[in-house]
Chains A and B, each alone.
Chain A
């Protein structure tokens, strides 16, 4: 008990999570997003095309359908771009931060000693670019899990090791 001290913490001197510099996602991840969006719209377009082909009556609405289709496509592209630009992550010594959101800026912080398990997910398109998504799970349910996409496979493995190392060190 001799060397036990209990100073008052100066809360203004604490490291500030809001001042952390975030790393942006890998630029190839934007290509992955683009490909995914176009694949999705290609499928919808094909279905629409088939529908028009088999149901000639719908041809009267051709203009409306194509306008809606292109507006949707542009909106999705713009939103994906904003969302891509705003996503960022940071690994501090004791916790991981992830920033995301289109209208709102959400920042989620998970201390390493609250991490339950980790998963690496490689999507079909992402894998072609050598990118992976790190999923970090806590006991707090799905709303408190972090999914960081667009990280190079090698770096993802390192991050996994880092997270696991941290977890072990804590115990």
Chain B
């Protein structure tokens, strides 16, 4: 059975039809404006030319589809233990996947594929959420056989996963070792996500206002009178009331959201994994496997520090469904002790902040330039040359400078990178202060970057890539950064550290 995959082979021949439809779709997507024009001008057109053009187009697509089919081959290289896919007519791509890197092989069937009677086979490796290899048309028996030979090396992984499943079932009854109290949720509700809720409220009122406006113009409501009334009499009072109502609404929305989402938050432990369950109406549950954790973010703001609560966000590397991949697991409202306990479970040690790297003052200068000087220059230029009435709002400028300036300043002050032997911690944020924690062993790749005019000042940036996202630190001491990069590379390359 396996022998047949050793030679390069094409997809099943009805696959041409599939290619045809796919190419047609692509072209239609690209050319629809032209089609639209033709449809509107249908009556004026010479039907003969139209027919000729259309059939010419279809034939071209047909030939392309056939060539695509001809040029798409796949095979198993037994000697090197690789699965190889060749594709492309003019631009050719050869994708090489090591068998032992294959995490999943999925066999799917879309509606079109069902009509033709073929299957799609996707080969998936760890980490990134795109499919590494895709065979669009293959018969079912062939797909199964190919899957079997692709997974031969991965068999162990599949087996161990099954074992885990059964052991999970046995210990599912374990008692939770931690629960987040209702009080903590209340604290979280009143201290976080102000901006998000404000956005929600604004969006709500914007839609209400839009609808109300169309309603008002229809009724014989005297809008002008209303405006004048609003303008004069209670301007200041109403502003105060509106601000007060807004704050109250934000808090209430926050509370309701947090409680609905995280009610009865329980964390249980089993076989080294963490089992989370939460939710008021529908209980959600997730598993965190410590070895798969890539980035943990600890967030807290000024109020939360006073109330001794913080929020954890955990990013795992998963090779499961798409939705699962993108999702961040949040643990709201644990206190310092609880969070330390969780971190210890995830990392085996409590993360400690090591040697501190600070960004250069140029980062502050640049942020001020970008967020204060540039907008203000734009404002004054607009006021001067385009619309002088704009300058009436000049009294808002100090307010803006103060507000944005403090955000920029605190953002700069909190921007730090801490490095010790076991952890890299990036601290950032102006109000909500994030601490992103990663272990050097989870690094996938490192990018360092330096602008040419920063060479003499010896400052530069670093981006650390993990399977759960990137961590970057800008304009730090470049010599030090390079030294750390060398150290991390050394650690990565001398050990077989498992990143998931």
Q: Which residues of A contact B (CB under 8 A)?
A: 9, 11-12, 14-18, 94-95, 101, 103-114, 116-124, 127, 137-144, 146, 160-161, 164, 167-168, 170-171
Contact = CB atoms under 8 A, between A and B. Distances in A.
Given A16-B486, A108-B445, A114 B492 contact: yes
Contacts of A139: 125-128, 317, 444, 467, 499-500
Contacts of B126: 116, 139
A108 B492 contact: no
Given A114-B492, A116-B125, A138-B127, A122 B92 contact: yes
Interface stretch (B162-170, B248-256, B386-394, B447-455): B447-455
Nearest to A165: B80
B444 A109 contact: no
Interface in B452-499: 452, 463, 465-467, 469-470, 482-483, 485-487, 489-490, 492-493, 496, 499
B287 interface: no
12 contacts: A14-B486, A111-B493, A114-B445, A117-B95, A120-B93, A120-B94, A139-B467, A140-B128, A141-B465, A141-B467, A164-B82, A167-B98
Contact of A138 (B100, B444, B496): B444
Contacts of A168: 81, 98, 100
Contact of A17 (B82, B489, B496, B499): B489
Contacts of A16: 482, 486
Q: Which of A104, A112, A114, A117 has the most chain B CB atoms inside 10 A of its CB? A: A117
Nearest to A133: B93
A140 B98 contact: no
B160 to A, nearest CB: 16
B61 to A, nearest CB: 19
Interface size class of B (residues with CB under 8 A): 35 or more
A103 B127 contact: no
A142 B88 CA distance: 21
Given A14-B490, A114-B499, A105 B483 contact: no
Contacts of A160: 96
B447 A106 contact: yes
Nearest to A146: B445
A105 B490 contact: no
Contacts of B95: 117-119
A168 B126 CA distance: 16
A122 B94 CA distance: 8
B449 to A, nearest CB: 4
Nearest to A139: B127
Contacts of B448: 18, 106-107
A8 to B, nearest CB: 10
Among A15, A127, A139, the one with the most B-chain Cβ atoms within 10 Å of its Cβ is: A139
